[in-house]
Structure formats: structure tokens, C-alpha cells
Chains A and B, each alone.
Chain A
Amino acid sequence: GENVEQHPSTLSVQEGDSAVIKCTYSDSASNYFPWYKQELGKRPQLIIDIRSNVGEKKDQRIAVTLNKTAKHFSLHITETQPEDSAVYFCAAKYPSNYQLIWGAGTKLIIKP
């Protein structure tokens, strides 16, 4: 079955710097890759997603890149701000059903 690995588990960056979180997946047929942000004590919320027919997608300070050959996708946050501090989860959609396979999460800490 599908497996998603996420790195790093914790990432600390200076405010204003960029942050990159990487995920790899095992099933080359996976076709949907969302990223969720979960603030402390709150629910996970979608911040950006990408489908397998696209290599990159941007939304203001957030971008996601997908490398289908290498089977990995990354979240890029530029000009980080204190409100970016949260746990970020990647996921991949298993192609034969509607189940999302989740990464273990990355705790992003923005240092003032």
C-alpha cells in the first residue's frame, strides 16, 4: 500500500527566512497531494494542494512542488511569520480509493 514519509519532524527557522518541508510517497499512481496546517489545539486545515498533472503551484508565500519521477513533493514557505508556527501535514491520495495517507507531521517553529 501507499506510504508517506515526512521530514523533518521539527523545523526551526528565523522569522523572515524560508522553510521547506519534504515528503516522499511510495505509490507512483498517487494523484493528489494536499498540505494541511494545524495550529495548537485546532483542527487541520488545507493550505495548498497539487495534483499529479502539475509540477508546481503557488499561493502567495506558499508553494508546493511535485517531482513524480522521484516521488516526492515539498512545501515551501517564504518570508516566514510568527503565525506560520504550527504542525504541517502532507498527504497522498491512494489511487484506488478515496483514502488520504498522511505524513507524520512537521512542527514548524518561527523564531523572532
Chain B
Amino acid sequence: DAGVIQSPRHEVTEMGQEVTLRCKPISGHNSLFWYRQTMMRGLELLIYFNNNVPIDDSGMPEDRFSAKMPNASFSTLKIQPSEPRDSAVYFCASSLALGAQLTEAFFGQGTRLTVV
């Protein structure tokens, strides 16, 4: 397996534009996490899915952020409209949840978003 795949690796966009980040989890994993990382706030969980269903989106900063997981092999994180303070590295991670146990979370390489 190629691991968790994110695209694009880098995104530069103007304030007000829509941004869509994409993630392909590891095949067979049933949990998917979207994180945002900045120097100031560290690693923040935005939302996570279990079996394609959003379980906890309390970390989504505001209504401008939305995430979907239409099937087990694809997820998107959308920001509309984007603002300069959204600039960060966005990571997607996946893992396998078995009953009450959680296995290792594998991270994608991240998308570095810059909003100017």
C-alpha cells in the first residue's frame, strides 16, 4: 500500500477562494482523521470519521470548513471562503478501529496551504 495519499502537497490561493483538500486513506482502514498544524496551535483535530460517518466535528473552526467522506477510499476537506488565518499544514491520517482498540494512525504527507 502506498500509505495515506494527500493532494495537493502545496496550495497557494487568494483570500475568498474555495480550497479543497483530498485524502485517500490506507485500504482497509475504517477511521479517518483531518488535522491542522500551525506553530501557534500545534496539532489540532478538525474532524474524524468512522466507517465513513462523521463522529466528531467539534474541532472544525467555523462554518467555512466542511468535510465529506463519500466512500471508504476518499475524503475531502473544503474551506469556503478561505482566509489568511487558515494558512497551515493540513494532515489526513487513517487507522483501523477494532472494537474498543485503535491501531497505529498513519499520516499523509500533508498539504501546506497558504492563503494570501
Contacts and interface: CB of A to CB of B under 8 A. Distances in A.
A35 to B, nearest CB: 11
A105 B42 CA distance: 8
Nearest to A102: B43
Contacts of B100: 31, 95
A59 B95 CA distance: 22
A104 B56 contact: no
Best-buried of A45, A46, A99, A104 by chain B (most CB within 10 Å): A99
B102 A32 contact: yes
Interface string A83-112: 000000100010101111010110000000
A49 B104 contact: yes
Contact of A46 (B42, B55, B105): B105
B104 A98 contact: no
Interface residues of A, number: 19
A32 B91 contact: no
Interface stretch (B11-19, B65-73, B75-83, B106-114): B106-114
Nearest to B49: A98
B49 to A, nearest CB: 10
A43 interface: yes
A9 to B, nearest CB: 10
Contacts of B101: 32
Contacts of A104: 42
Given A31-B100, A45-B107, A97 B55 contact: yes
A99 B58 CA distance: 12
